[in-house]
A and B are shown apart, each in its own frame.
Chain A
Amino acid sequence: MKEIGELFKEKLTDQQEPPPLQVWEKIAADDNVLKYNSKQGLQQSLFYILPAMIIVAIAVISIVLLSNSNPLKQNDMAKITPAVENPATPETVIPDSISKADDQTITSPTESVQSVVNQYQTETQTGHANHLRSSNAKPVVPVIIMPFKAEVSQPEAEVSKENSYKEIVIPAAPSNEKTTVKKKPITPTPKTEEVKSQNLETDDVEEKSWEIVSSDREEVPDLSIPDAFSPNADGLNDEFGVVANRPITDFNMMVYDRTGQQLFQTRDINAGWNGEYKGQLLPTNSYLYIISYKNSGGENKIQKGMLILVR
């Protein structure tokens, strides 16, 4: 007796078998593989230059974008700085920019600005102006936030508009008839705001799911084509053939191998391919089929695909 692995290892280690000629032809046809090394200089330089160019382009674009956004900030700063330097009229300048923002955000910044202004006044009086200049960021912070707040509040308003719009739209759907709804998006026709109930919404959903099922049922293909067959004369799937689900005419089926050699051709829908070519049994492999026919509507149709021969 012998361990089964050893039995196989003895026979199947370090063996050789010459491969078919076409493998080398395929490798040799790949220019990138064999000429790769001679072209290397050019390819390598391209390899580095392309990313470098992309990085430079990104850098240029970002610089342009930044320089565009900078003036805005500078304008904001310009609005503020006089306010700080002229402590006599701070309220007249700041509330203008704040007034767009929410009530809550207004209070705290103005307070802080006010306090900073007060601090500034007291500190200039005591002669600590240099120290404050270094901490200039303080008065800027609250006001820089404000323009952002104002921008953010706008989209919020839009969202709320959309919401109110949706509330009107949804109940309108059930009013459409089933026949018109078919496969078309429900056209929103705004109605009165009174109609608002969850029951109506669920009805809408049910209708949609019913549509999907029905459309799937309609799409039974003209032909049922198998993807594999096993010609080993065991009475199961010994031939490759198709089954027509609807009446068709002008049927033509061709089978090719991977190199494009035609192996089989028939115009009889009941005929099948037995996996032979010129009396020779073909090996396990994938093959291609092309089937053309005329459907019941008189349209010419072509179906292509892969089939696997299993032995």
Chain B
Amino acid sequence: MQKYIFSGNKKMENTSSGRVKTTEHLVNNDQELVEGCIAGNPKYQRILYEEFAGDLYFICKRYSHSDADAEDLLQDAFIKIFLNLKGFRFESSLRHWMKRLATNTIITNFRTKKKEGVKLDYEECEQGVLPVVEVQDVEIPMEVLMRMVRELPPGYRMIFNMREIDGYELSEIAEELNMNPATVRSQLFKAKAVLKKQIENWLKSEKV
């Protein structure tokens, strides 16, 4: 059982000075937190947000180009979480469940955007094993990698994130995004090629 000690904790000190400090409060486990939120207790709802918003915001940022889009996604995700908390069965950890729900929100959002006409590259590549893209094993700051992912075209970014970071299977991605598996494979390869070029460029600029 995980304990959430909620006060003006470290995470909050990192943020902008304008953040409202909530009074100290101790939550013993997931169950108490979830039940408190379902009962409509604003204190628990605030704790749920403060505890998990950081994780979810990072995921949203990975999947979006601009911060404004990431904020919109985070808002949608939390609205879904608050409305669906009653359906949480405590079979997995609360953190895992919320991350999954956020990812699903992002996927749904992408699908509707695709219908509205975000252009995707539908070129397909032949069946077979994906060629491995390798780069020099060097230490690259997280912020730099993050920027590279966020600068990918929408379709590439979606598929790269789902496959390489969130660990979806290619067939799952094809189903979720309503795309041909061959298309998914070729897009993933192209995304990797773009990222490799980005990393090489970055290494060059660092050396000079």
Contact = CB atoms under 8 A, between A and B. Distances in A.
Contacts of B133: 3-5
Contact of B75 (A14, A27, A36): A27
B71 A19 contact: yes
Contacts of A4: 133-135, 164, 192, 195-196, 199
A8 interface: yes
A285 B67 CA distance: 8
A7 B61 contact: no
Contact of A18 (B53, B75, B83, B146): B53
Interface string A18-29: 111111101100
A19 B74 contact: yes
Chain B: interface size category:
35 or more
5 contacts: A1-B137, A17-B58, A17-B61, A23-B74, A27-B79
A34 B68 contact: no
A283 B64 CA distance: 13
B203 interface: no
Contact of A8 (B39, B55, B132, B149): B149
A40 B120 CA distance: 42
B134 A19 contact: no
A38 B83 contact: no
Interface in A1-58: 1-9, 11-24, 26-27, 30, 33-38
Contact of B145 (A3, A12, A285): A12
B111 interface: no
Given A12-B58, A27-B82, 18 more contacts: A4-B135, A4-B199, A5-B133, A11-B145, A12-B62, A16-B54, A17-B58, A17-B61, A18-B11, A18-B12, A21-B15, A30-B79, A33-B82, A36-B40, A37-B39, A38-B40, A283-B66, A286-B68
A37 B61 CA distance: 29
Nearest to B148: A8
B14 interface: yes
Nearest to B135: A4
B45 A34 contact: yes
Contact of A38 (B19, B39, B53, B67): B39
A118 interface: no
Main secondary structure of the interface of B (DSSP, over half): helix
B100 interface: no
A5 B40 contact: no
Nearest to B54: A16
Contacts of B25: none
B57 interface: yes
B78 to A, nearest CB: 5
A27 B78 contact: yes
A9 B58 contact: no
Contacts of B149: 8, 12
Given A8-B164, A18-B14, A283 B192 contact: no
Contacts of B86: 37
Interface in B131-188: 132-137, 140, 142, 145-146, 149, 160, 163-165
Given A2-B135, A12-B142, A33 B53 contact: no
A8 B192 CA distance: 11
A258 interface: yes
Given A23-B71, A37-B39, A8 B165 contact: yes
Given A2-B136, A12-B62, A23 B19 contact: no
Contacts of B65: 284
Contact of A7 (B62, B78, B140): B140
